[in-house]
Amino acid sequence: MPPDSLFTRRASFMPNTFNADAMTVEATISTFATVARRDARGSYTERLDPAGLDLSGLVGSPLLDGHRQGSARDVIGTIAAYRMEGESLVATIRLSGAADAASIITRIQEGTLKGVSIGYRVTRWAESTDSLTKARVRTAAAWAISEVSAVPIPADPGATFRSNTMPKDTQDDDRATLIQRLVAAHDLPGEWATRMEEAGEELTDDEIRIQARAAAADALQTRARQTPRIRTVASHEDPATTMRHRADALHARVSGTAPTEQARPYMADSLRDHARAAVEATGTSTRGMDADQLFRAAMHTTTDFPGLLTSTGNRTLIGAYQAAQSPIKTTLARQATMADFRPATRLKLSDVGLLEKVSESGEIKSTTRGEAAESYALDTYATQFAISRKALINDDLGAFRDWGMTAGRMAAETEANLLLKLLLSNPVMGEDGLALFHATHGNLAAAAALSVATLDAARKAMRGMKALDGKTPINATPKFLVVGPEQETTAEQVLASIYAATVADVNPFGGKLTLLVEPRITDDRFYIFADPAVLPVLEYAYLSSAQGPQMASREGWDVLGMEFRVVLDFGCGAIDWRGAFFNPGA
């Protein structure tokens, strides 16, 4: 067929197969075209073998907006049916009628959004070398489609939403063109093409396609039986950079977020694929290895695969840890670091006193400063969990995600419990040997119900606080009101700004204090705190080399799989009493 004729037929994409009544459209979702890829070993050609495609779960798979998976709004349709047309996989797609998908559906309907791309998971790869170019080829020998996406520019040029007059290329091709396309699609040798041409009219086009798939399957089995060999391959990309992109892709799969552009080529890779890439990056062939051998090699011969899992686990851990923070820690306490586990001293110096008038002789009198110290130390808290060999082989990321998120929440809970235990215990201060909240300090009230009157008394007491010298007023300004769930509604009423008919009805605390509710406070007590940036009362610290929870991994000893350990070096203490006030409540 002349090239200009082919161009004319393909450029005639006008009104597509969109059915407004049924809200469906047809799309060629794959022509199994080859795609240029890159991994730790360099460039390679990726081929999708139609014979190895598992279509059992295709119906019901989602149609996504550009492979995004971060939100339910990214789903704009589902696969309703499919069929093979020659060497192409065609699907009928039922589109969403939701308002937030309307703009994308309109583009599909009018034909301005044409591209289609598939997301897939490969359970078995076959390695080979192109007979002509000698380039490396990776063929997906066993794989399944997990999603289909509407994209501006597809990797497979033939994957598009179909027009009503979409040409049937495979029916229009002459015999020679069909054979050459099958050779390219299945990486078949020239001898096979010669046999098919010599067969002439003895074979129909469909029989030739069947012969092509059978020959491709035989070739894959032959490669799988070849003896593994050790080889060293020069990488065209920094292996550390490649593993970082793989870690980004694995985290996107675990968290359901959109991957970066650099991570997108690895989104379909299973844990087994990541393990294979880590082993092959060392120059070791993985041909002939089963899943168990592959994971053992990945954990024994390289740090990349354990590092990839640990990196993903740490990001999952930290995300859950940050989301579960207590207001006692994030709002009322000051953060610090310590170099080791010895008790750290927080030294407080008094003011230098008022400036005195200089005498006629020019003499300037010296002043002295008082000092006091508070101290506390770090402790280590830890937990561990394991991912079984079965979970690794089954690519079960759900268990890994759940453990990481749970560990993150428990680390945040540990910190919150320690800080609140410190606050509720009313610790003794090193400055004077008295409790943090004590009548002598002027920051402890007689038990009374939360009201405007009791808040007024607390504010007056804090305004009268003196510095370390016992003389200089520091004018502590109340900023936060801390209560438990029992007092939450009352606190909201006390702090509410309302329209007052008379001066006597004005709420003086409306908009003045920020309410913090701590669920671990179970009685009617309440606290008033100043801004910790000005007058810190509570302080927490991490080991300077490990701030926050840290995850580490090793090959399992007590279990078959990977073991993960989460360690937290954390300490907290009361460092001053002047910035807080306590009322036990009625």
- Alpha carbon distance 289, 137 (integer Å): 18
Confidence of residue 536 (pLDDT cuts 50, 70, 90): very high
Residue-wise pLDDT for 18-44, tens only, equals: 887 778 899 999 999 888 887 767 788
Mean pLDDT across 389-403: 75
**What is the model's pLDDT at position 364?**
66
Does residue 451 carry a pLDDT above 70? yes
Tell me which residue has tokens 């299945």. 186
For the chain, give the percent of residues with pLDDT over 90: 29
Mean pLDDT across 55-74: 88
Mean pLDDT across 219-241: 54
C-alpha closest to that of 276 among 538, 529, 73, 39: 39
Phi and psi dihedrals of 303, rounded to 5? -95, -5
Q: 567 or 174: which carries more pLDDT confidence?
A: 567
**What is the model's pLDDT at position 232?**
41
pTM for this prediction: 0.53
Residue-wise pLDDT for 478-526, tens only, equals: 999 999 999 999 999 888 854 434 445 556 666 788 899 999 999 999 9
Provide the sign of the torsion angle of the four alpha carbons 72, 29, 224, 238, taken in this order: negative
Residue-wise pLDDT for 234-266, tens only, equals: 444 566 788 888 888 888 887 777 888 888 888
Determine which helix (DSSP H) or strand (DSSP E) holds 507, and give its type and residue range.
none
Long-range Cβ pairs for the range 286-291 (8 Å, 24+) = 286/228, 287/127, 287/223, 287/224, 287/226, 287/228, 287/229, 288/224, 288/226, 288/227, 288/228, 289/228, 291/392, 291/393
Domains in the chain (CATH in brackets) are 3-172 (no CATH), 303-338+383-586 (3.90.1690)
* Lookup: tokens for 354: 């008022």
Does residue 6 carry a pLDDT above 50? no
For the chain, the average pLDDT equals 80
Burial class (CB in 10 A: 0-12, 13-18, 19+), 171: exposed
Does residue 420 carry a pLDDT above 90? yes
Determine which helix (DSSP H) or strand (DSSP E) holds 120, and give its type and residue range.
strand 115-129
* Lookup: tokens for 234: 């020069």
Mean pLDDT across 279-286: 81
Identity of the residue numbered 82: Y
C-alpha closest to that of 579 among 538, 547, 535, 533: 535
Q: For strands 75-85 and 88-95, give the pairing.
A: antiparallel
Residue 246: count of CB within 10 angstroms of its CB: 26
For the chain, give the percent of residues with pLDDT over 70: 83
Q: For strands 35-39 and 42-48, give the pairing.
A: antiparallel
| β-strand partners of 546 | 543
Structural Rg of the chain based on CA atoms: 35
Residue-wise pLDDT for 284-328, tens only, equals: 888 878 887 888 788 776 677 777 788 788 888 888 888 888 888
Are the CB atoms for 405 and 281 separated by under 8 Å?
Answer: no
DSSP 250-286: HHHHHHTPPPPTTTGGGTT--HHHHHHHHHHTTTB--
Residue-wise pLDDT for 79-120, tens only, equals: 999 998 888 899 999 999 888 888 898 888 888 888 899 999
Cα distances (angstroms) measured from residue 107 to each of 149, 157, 165: 14, 18, 19
Does residue 233 carry a pLDDT above 70? no
**What is the model's pLDDT at position 238?**
66
Mean pLDDT across 188-201: 80
Mean pLDDT across 212-219: 70
Mean pLDDT across 45-50: 89
